[in-house]
Structure 1
Amino acid sequence: MIQDECNWIGPGLPATAILLALTAPGVLASDYPSSDYLLSDSETRDAWKGHGVSFGLGYTSEPMFNIVGGEKLGGTYADNIALEFGFDLERILGIPATNLVIKGSKRDGTSVSERFVAPSEGGNQFTVQELYGGQNVKLVDVRFNTLLLDERLMLSYGRLTANSDFLSSPLNCQFINNSYCGNPKPVFLQNPFTFTSYPLATWGALARYDTPSRVWTLQAAVYDGDPTGKGGDPASPDHNQHGTSWGVGNNGVTMVGELHYHVNRDSDTALPGTYKVGGYYMTGDFLDVASTDNSTTTGSAMGWVMADQMLYREKPGADRGLWGFGSLVFSFTNDTNPMPWYVSAGLVYEGLFEARPRDTTGVAISSGWFGDEVNVARTAEGLPEKDYEAVIELNHQFVLGRGISIQPDIQYIIRPAGTGDIDNAFLIGARVSVNF
């Protein structure tokens, strides 16, 4: 079912977002082979799992082409090789209810946003391909998870990505544009970059508690505020290109909290949904977006409200049906956050056609507004002011079986880069995924 908040890679132990993404519904055949993997059979995987070891390897590519508007016509691709190992430490070492998840990433390709949609602005704000960013080899999570209190309390600690746990939805990555997948983008725009997202991790610790009724979930975390080693200097280069610089940073911490309200969470007949409210505060130094000389100011804070709600179910107990989602992101510190307001909404239908129950169809729209502070600096530099940028996206994911999915996609970028000087852009492309 789409709404599941996390998968599991061992008995009672939470898996990670990669395996969720790699096995997401998707692709061109009427029959679905029993295996979700291209190469390895389930017996081999089950044998390893019996020894406490799980593993995943996946490849995803996103070729996208700007065919109308923007500044240039043309296309690029971006891709990602994802590797993950999970170790059930209770089976291996006798450590109760604990697992270890290690993830790695190798990304290649270039950005159609930067090369064709809006090269004069360094790309439009909501980049067309969510796989673009961190185009090299990276060690990502090295994450321990421990379950306590009858599995109602989960503690995670180690090298973590904040976006895996907060401001997240299993519906986000139905879409390819970075406005949606993996999270609403305004929370990542501070300089230096602090709220970490795949494939960049940082030191952190998280606690998540499910009430006995399973109606409420409360989670809170603290992360190192200097994942790139810039020490609060906006002009400094990234000192953690491969995710292997494990020292403690020098730019404060990021504190995050989120409250979830679940409706019909365990029902096979009623319509389930999850509603979230959350926010973060960063204690470090960040670029003052109104400045022209890389001046900094201390502290940055944002908040959000988001919802996932099933709107229609084909029949009791079925995963097939229609989901709706929406999010609102807002800033408390406009001097450090270039985009203080953002909204998104969309629909995802799982199994729109009876013969293809695992396919998913999605449509979404999002818009983000630039703050007045951004335009103070741009006016001083003789640059056009920015207002807003919006994205409309439509796609359908075909699950072919044996771990292969193909997802044709179209996007329409309104006011690329927010200036109004660049023609609206129409793009076509696809996401191709293989789960080995």
Structure 2
Amino acid sequence: MALAATDQDSVILPVQQQQIKAADQDTQDVKLPRWIQKILGKKTKATGPEEVSNPTPYAETQPTTPFYLAIPGFLQAPYGPPSFGPPFGTTHLLGDWGGVQPWLQKRGLYFAFDVYEDLAGNVAGGKKRDYSVAGQVGSTLDVDWEKLLNAGSWSKDLWLHLLVVNGHGRNLSRLFGDNSNQVQQIYGSRGNVIAHMVWAYFEKSWLDHRIDLSMGWIPTGVFFQNSPWVCNYMNVWLCGGEAPTKFLTGGRGWPSGNIGTVLRVMPTKQVYVMGGLFAVSPHPYNGGISGWSWAQDGLGKLSTQVEIGWIPAFGRDHLVGHYKVGVMYDNSRYSHLYEDINGNPWVLTGQPARRESGQTSLWVIADQMLVRHGSGELNGLILGGYYAYASGQTSQINHAFVAALMDTGAAWKRPLDSVGIAFLWASFSRSAILSQEAAAGHGLSLPGANFGVPYGIQGHESIYEAYYGFHIMDGLSIKPDFQYINHVGGTTTFRDAVVLSTAVNVAF
């Protein structure tokens, strides 16, 4: 823990003390009657720095202790987790569970339970007006084997991470005619099962977390082509890893897992190199619809991902930035979206599509804090974005771009609130468009691919998103969200859609 403590101390500078003190005086907690407080128990306060508004994967703005102080291991990187990590923070609506949480954590067991519900509807445009309630119940267990077993040095920084979810609801985007995008953060790939396995992996660190190895059932997008701020936003092109990589079979993101391993090396505190090797599932669902069937047939091919990151901190306020570049190569064979075995359009000839050897994706992700408003790596005005590419011969979308601007509510004395705007854009590949044009010209059904079956010939799709996250009390947040979808599904078949939604997250 020495490295983490040193890094965190360096973030809290004298120039920020007045800001932090003001945030402490306005914690935004709801004052509850004493009889309710007795039931909930006392809140567990982490030792060390003040709680800060570090958004977690489900974008709730509850105050959380930075991951690298609260839960060690791979998640202890001094710049914030390169992966999602335990998704529900370190604060709970039910306080310390009457002393249960401290008792568990003293024995190396970190348990969390979370409920997320999102009511969304398209109030204009699209195929039709409709609404949907999509939600998820999730639980995590993170095991520190050194504490649990009271073992020797071999168990130091050895962890087991588990996440199981249960999802429900309807896909609003498909209801209003968009099969290529999802406007709801929590929807899809969870299966109609009681407990869907998202991840289950061991993690071991050496040399004060300069070297870290993870092995097991891992969503590739948890570690690669991801940033800690992307799930501030609702749209799935952002949340859970960037598009189009996470929609490729070799790079499927959360909540789909892959059997694999990830090695991260940090030669300095500001630079990391990360590589991963994953088994590629040829099935629509990795691990089956439940995520538990790890021994699927056809797992002979491999996906390799490599990412290099630079995490500078500029000036006396330590204005943190995250700069990442990565590549994925999947050595599987995939069907060409346009050409058959003779180079002609397969939608017309009826011949088998040509099989392409290998699939490649590239990404560049960056964000930079411009003004600091607190002690956390996300507490301030931040400009971020990414560009990503995927092989257009086999991926329906081959270019994607995002620009985002976000901040906390410190300026209006709501330091645990968050606000943000974003522009998302994606273009469909030339191969996919040629195939659609050929089919449309002969009165045939339009072909689909990894971004669904379109309602018309595709070109590009743009989304404008804005949100405000209200911190109500520890473990409870509400987030209204606005999205304007231009060229629904990448076509001009339907009028542009307007989607309003409100998400409620409760971390028990």
Q: Same fold judged by TM-score > 0.5?
A: yes
CA separation of 1:87 and 1:189: change in aligned 2, threshold 3 A: closer
Alignment of 1:113-152 (within 5 A): 113-116=173-176, 118=177, 123-136=178-191, 137=193, 138-152=196-210
Matched residue, 2:395 = 337
In 2: Cα distance, 1:221 partner to 1:184 partner? 17
In 2: Cα distance, 1:39 partner to 1:316 partner? 25
Matched residue, 1:30 = none
Residue 397 of structure 1 and its aligned partner are, at CA, apart by: 0.3
In 2: Cα distance, 1:313 partner to 1:152 partner? 27
Alignment of 1:70-85 (within 5 A): 70-85=126-141
Residue 318 of structure 1 and its aligned partner are, at CA, apart by: 9.2
Matched residue, 1:200 = 256
1:288 equivalenced with 2:347 (yes/no): no
CA contact (8 A) 1:176 1:431 kept: no
CA contact (8 A) 1:10 1:49 kept: no
In 2: Cα distance, 1:326 partner to 1:318 partner? 16
CA separation of 1:315 and 1:202: change in aligned 2, threshold 3 A: closer
Residue 317 of structure 1 and its aligned partner are, at CA, apart by: 7.8
Residue 309 of structure 1 and its aligned partner are, at CA, apart by: 0.7
Residue 198 of structure 1 and its aligned partner are, at CA, apart by: 1.8
In 1: Cα distance, 2:471 partner to 2:91 partner? 10
More helix by share: 2
CA contact (8 A) 2:190 2:255 kept: no
* Larger gyration radius, structure 1 or structure 2: 2
Alignment of 1:174-185 (within 5 A): 174-185=232-243
CA contact (8 A) 1:125 1:389 kept: no
1:243 equivalenced with 2:243 (yes/no): no
**Residue in structure 2 matching 1:386, options 445, 458, 472:** 458
More strand by share: 1
Matched residue, 1:13 = 73
CA separation of 1:182 and 1:242: change in aligned 2, threshold 3 A: same
Residue 11 of structure 1 and its aligned partner are, at CA, apart by: 5.7
In 1: Cα distance, 2:374 partner to 2:146 partner? 39
Pairwise CA RMSD of aligned residues?
2.5
In 1: Cα distance, 2:233 partner to 2:117 partner? 13
Residues 201-245 of structure 1 deviation map (CA, whole Å, 9 limit, x = unaligned):
111111111123x1211100000111xx53xxxxx7877110111
Letter in 2 for 1:393: E
Residue 87 of structure 1 and its aligned partner are, at CA, apart by: 0.7
Structure 2: give runs of 5+ residues left out of the alignment: 1-51, 58-65, 76-80, 339-345, 441-445, 447-455
Paired residues, number: 408
In 1: Cα distance, 2:218 partner to 2:198 partner? 8
CA separation of 1:167 and 1:237: change in aligned 2, threshold 3 A: closer
In 2: Cα distance, 1:271 partner to 1:408 partner? 28
Q: What is the DSSP-based 3-state SS (H/G/I as helix, E as strand, rest coil) of the residue aligned with 2:468?
A: strand
Residues 92-120 of structure 1 deviation map (CA, whole Å, 9 limit, x = unaligned):
2322220001110111000111112x1xx
**Residue in structure 2 matching 1:372, options 419, 430, 433:** 430
CA contact (8 A) 1:408 1:429 kept: yes
TM-score, normalised by the number of residues in structure 2: 0.75
CA separation of 1:9 and 1:19: change in aligned 2, threshold 3 A: farther
In 2: Cα distance, 1:132 partner to 1:53 partner? 29
In 2: Cα distance, 1:401 partner to 1:419 partner? 42
CA contact (8 A) 1:10 1:54 kept: no
CA contact (8 A) 2:373 2:410 kept: no
1:47 equivalenced with 2:103 (yes/no): yes
Matched residue, 2:270 = 215
CA contact (8 A) 1:389 1:417 kept: yes
1:415 equivalenced with 2:487 (yes/no): yes
1:22 equivalenced with 2:94 (yes/no): no
Letter in 2 for 1:297: E
In 1: Cα distance, 2:434 partner to 2:304 partner? 29
Matched residue, 2:307 = 258
Matched residue, 1:279 = 327
Letter in 1 for 2:384: F
In 1: Cα distance, 2:465 partner to 2:71 partner? 37
Matched residue, 2:476 = 404
CA contact (8 A) 2:366 2:384 kept: yes
Matched residue, 2:385 = 326
Letter in 2 for 1:304: W
Structure 1: give runs of 5+ residues left out of the alignment: 24-34, 231-235
**Residue in structure 2 matching 1:101, options 129, 144, 161:** 161
Q: What is the DSSP-based 3-state SS (H/G/I as helix, E as strand, rest coil) of the residue aligned with 2:259?
A: strand
CA contact (8 A) 2:56 2:87 kept: no
CA contact (8 A) 2:285 2:291 kept: no
Letter in 1 for 2:170: T
In 1: Cα distance, 2:316 partner to 2:184 partner? 35
In 1: Cα distance, 2:309 partner to 2:461 partner? 29
The percentage of counterpart residues that share the same residue type is: 24
Matched residue, 1:32 = none
In 2: Cα distance, 1:211 partner to 1:4 partner? 27
Letter in 2 for 1:257: V
Residue 345 of structure 1 and its aligned partner are, at CA, apart by: 0.5
In 2: Cα distance, 1:65 partner to 1:401 partner? 26
CA separation of 1:318 and 1:22: change in aligned 2, threshold 3 A: closer
CA contact (8 A) 1:225 1:252 kept: yes
In 1: Cα distance, 2:285 partner to 2:87 partner? 31
Matched residue, 1:26 = none
CA contact (8 A) 1:268 1:316 kept: no
Letter in 2 for 1:60: Y
